Amino acid sequence: MKTPAALVVFALISAAQTERGPLNSVTAVRHWSTADVTRVAVEVTGSFLFRTDRLHGPERVYFDILDAIPHINSRRSYTENLDDVLLKRIRVAETAPGVTRVVLDVADAAEVHTSQLANPNRLIVELRMGGGPATATPPTQPVAVPQPEPPKLAPPPSIKAAAAPPVLPAAVTAPVTPPVLPAASHADARSGSATIPVTEPALKPSIEPAKIADAIKKPSAAPDPSAAAPKAARHTSSGDTSLVRALGLKIQRVVIDPGHGGHDHGTEGPHGLLEKDLVLDVAQRLGKLIEDRMGAEVIYTRTDDTFIPLEGRTALANEKKADLFLSIHANSSSLPRITGVETYYLSLTDSKEAKDVAARENDASQLSVFELRDLIQKITLNDKAEESKEFAGRIQTALYAFSARSFPTERNRGVKKAPFVVLIGAQMPSVLAEIGFVSNTREEALLKKPDYRQRLAEALFRGVSRYADGLSHFQVAQNAK
């Protein structure tokens, strides 16, 4: 009796899989964008080989991850449509046994650059706007990818930031209409799905007319002449005058970063309090206080339960030209009796305790060991260290004064330095505040209460306000609140 062909194929596939070992899984496809670059990270559970090619009509590029099956949110296939100038759609499916294909529908003029990183294993695809449609290249053979140059340190994500009054430009340019992708009606045999016509949306002007109108509205009442009186900067607490103070620089925009989010829960208290939920609530309370009382613009790195890469948070602050960056976190300890608050600024340290805290907060980083030298340079060449230390001191003083009322016997854990990834590369004074230990049962119970969170936000505001008051500034009437 002849063996059915299907059984022969299955036997060959099973034998090949046994020889090569268990298959990897493609567990996630993440993406983030800025004005000129879109990056995609394809996460794989182990080391992998891949092959790639670019196809046309419509324009797309595919990546075959060999010896891997898709397993994204417990599904064997995945599709996501995007409102992005360079990237229109992401499709993931198993096109052959043990081959996961990732298809990126891209703009005609998109240039594609690829690199492979380990620990964790992932494929990084960078899209940039080029001069015109790319030409097709022959499919690559499945070979191991050598250690590439690392991607840029701060890949910004797609962020839901709080709406803010724009800064008016000298002139508003007309919107630019990018090319329209050609329509196609035939099936895409190489990607395993039918192609559909996609029309590239027109880019919006950098400033919307309605926002321009709001920005130029005059106040209904004449301002108090005394409110516009400039105030000279004071010395730092060490008696020095930094370049920030010598130049008379002021605080106009603050980026608040609620730590963790999405699948990254942060630390969890003994009764279920999640760090990601706590810090988001406190951050939004603080932001409202800054807007109402300081009149400064506030931008959040996240406004909901969304995971944002650590590197992208500082990148957002740089992109928005923020004057201050404050990352809010909650602490934990293997000793449940430990309570209190502490504030960090970016620097290298010999403190084991500070390194442990940094390791815990950095566990979501996507940076590789290859990038260590570049990271050390960015940390040691940080010209904002003096002002960051001063900013941290103001925050810590206000936080400890508040926390000591509930825990009168606790010691002041003070201002510390540590290599937090979320602070690396910041072009403004930046600090990370640990607002309490959720591992302590009593402190966790307090941190669950809305009124305690509000008072905690007010303590953080006092720290921000007192730091801002030390710089050259214009007296604002709301500061008296």
CATH of the domain at 52: 2.60.40.3500
Segment 88-137, tens digit of pLDDT: 999 999 999 999 999 999 999 899 999 888 767 889 998 998 765 444 44
Please state at what angle helix 450-470 crosses helix 385-406, rounded to 10 degrees. 140
pLDDT of residue 326: 95
Q: Are residues 161 and 248 in the same domain?
A: no
- CA 311, CA 316: separation in Å to the nearest integer? 9
8 A C-beta contact, residue 72 and residue 65:
no
Q: Are residues 287 and 405 in the same domain?
A: yes
DSSP labels for 393-425?
HHHHHHHHHHHHHH-TT-----EEEE--GGGTT
Q: Which residues contact 408 (CB under 8 A, 6 or more apart)?
A: none
pLDDT higher at 446 or 369: 446
Q: Is residue 8 part of a domain?
A: no
Q: Which residues contact 449 (CB under 8 A, 6 or more apart)?
A: none
**Residue of 450, 432, 455 lying closest to 331 (CA atoms):** 432
Q: Is 412 exposed, middle or buried (0-12, 13-18, 19+ CB in 10 A)?
A: middle
Q: Are residues 366 and 470 in the same domain?
A: yes
Strand intervals (E) in 161-243 = 187-188, 193-194, 230-231
The encoded tokens of residue 461 equal 């505001």
Structure letter (DSSP) for residue 292: I
Q: Is residue 399 part of a domain?
A: yes
Q: Look at the chain and report how many structural domains it folds into.
A: 2
Residue with tokens 């309490």: 436
Q: Are residues 149 and 293 in the same domain?
A: no
**Residue of 235, 253, 252, 254 lying closest to 244 (CA atoms):** 235
Q: Are residues 304 and 404 in the same domain?
A: yes
Whether the predicted pLDDT of 211 surpasses 60 = no
Q: Are residues 419 and 350 in the same domain?
A: yes
8 A C-beta contact, residue 226 and residue 475:
yes
- The sheet with strand 78-81 has its strands ordered as 50-55, 60-66, 99-106, 87-96, 78-81
Q: Is residue 213 part of a domain?
A: no
8 A C-beta contact, residue 161 and residue 147:
no
Q: Is residue 118 part of a domain?
A: yes
- The sheet with strand 122-129 has its strands ordered as 68-70, 24-33, 37-44, 122-129, 110-117
- CA 374, CA 379: separation in Å to the nearest integer? 9
Whether the predicted pLDDT of 268 surpasses 50 = yes
Whether the predicted pLDDT of 335 surpasses 90 = yes
Structural domain of residue 142, as residue ranges? Answer: 20-168+183-194
pLDDT of residue 375: 45
Amino acid present at 214: D
Q: Is 202 exposed, middle or buried (0-12, 13-18, 19+ CB in 10 A)?
A: exposed
Strand intervals (E) in 2-130 = 24-33, 37-44, 50-55, 60-66, 68-70, 78-81, 87-96, 99-106, 110-117, 122-129
Q: Which residues contact 258 (CB under 8 A, 6 or more apart)?
A: 276, 279, 280, 282, 283, 284, 300, 301, 302, 328
Q: Is residue 391 part of a domain?
A: yes
Q: Is residue 10 part of a domain?
A: no
8 A C-beta contact, residue 338 and residue 189:
no
Q: Is 125 exposed, middle or buried (0-12, 13-18, 19+ CB in 10 A)?
A: buried
Q: Are residues 249 and 114 in the same domain?
A: no
Give the β-pairing of 193-194 and 60-66: unpaired
pLDDT higher at 315 or 209: 315
| pTM exceeding the 0.85 threshold for the entire prediction | no
Q: Is residue 420 part of a domain?
A: yes
The encoded tokens of residue 127 equal 């899209």
Q: Are residues 124 and 247 in the same domain?
A: no
- CA 220, CA 277: separation in Å to the nearest integer? 39
Q: What are phi and psi of 31, to 5 degrees?
A: -145, 150
What length does the chain have?
481
Amino acid present at 241: T
CATH of the domain at 228: 3.40.630.40
pLDDT higher at 124 or 33: 124
Q: Are residues 157 and 258 in the same domain?
A: no
Q: Please, which pLDDT band fits residue 35 given cuts at 50, 70 and 90?
A: low
pLDDT of residue 325: 93
Residue with tokens 């879109």: 38
On the question of a cis peptide bond just before residue 120, with omega within 30 degrees of 0, the verdict is yes
pLDDT higher at 478 or 262: 262
DSSP labels for 260-275?
-BTTB---B-TT--BH
pLDDT of residue 90: 96
Choice among 243-257, 267-281, 359-373 with the minimum mean pLDDT: 359-373
Q: Is residue 207 part of a domain?
A: no
- Considering 19-33, 45-59, 116-130, 411-425, the range whose residues carry the highest mean pLDDT is 45-59
Strand intervals (E) in 268-367 = 297-300, 324-331, 342-346
- CA 68, CA 20: separation in Å to the nearest integer? 11
8 A C-beta contact, residue 264 and residue 276:
yes
Whether the predicted pLDDT of 414 surpasses 90 = yes
Q: Are residues 227 and 160 in the same domain?
A: no
* Average pLDDT, integer, range 313-331: 92
Q: Are residues 305 and 359 in the same domain?
A: yes
Q: What are phi and psi of 130, to 5 degrees?
A: -105, -165
Q: Which residues contact 247 (CB under 8 A, 6 or more apart)?
A: none
Q: Are residues 301 and 416 in the same domain?
A: yes
pLDDT of residue 196: 34
The encoded tokens of residue 340 equal 């209190």
| C-alpha dist (Å) from residue 69 to 45, 47, 77, 101 | 10, 13, 9, 9
Amino acid present at 352: K
pLDDT higher at 8 or 428: 428
- CA 467, CA 470: separation in Å to the nearest integer? 5
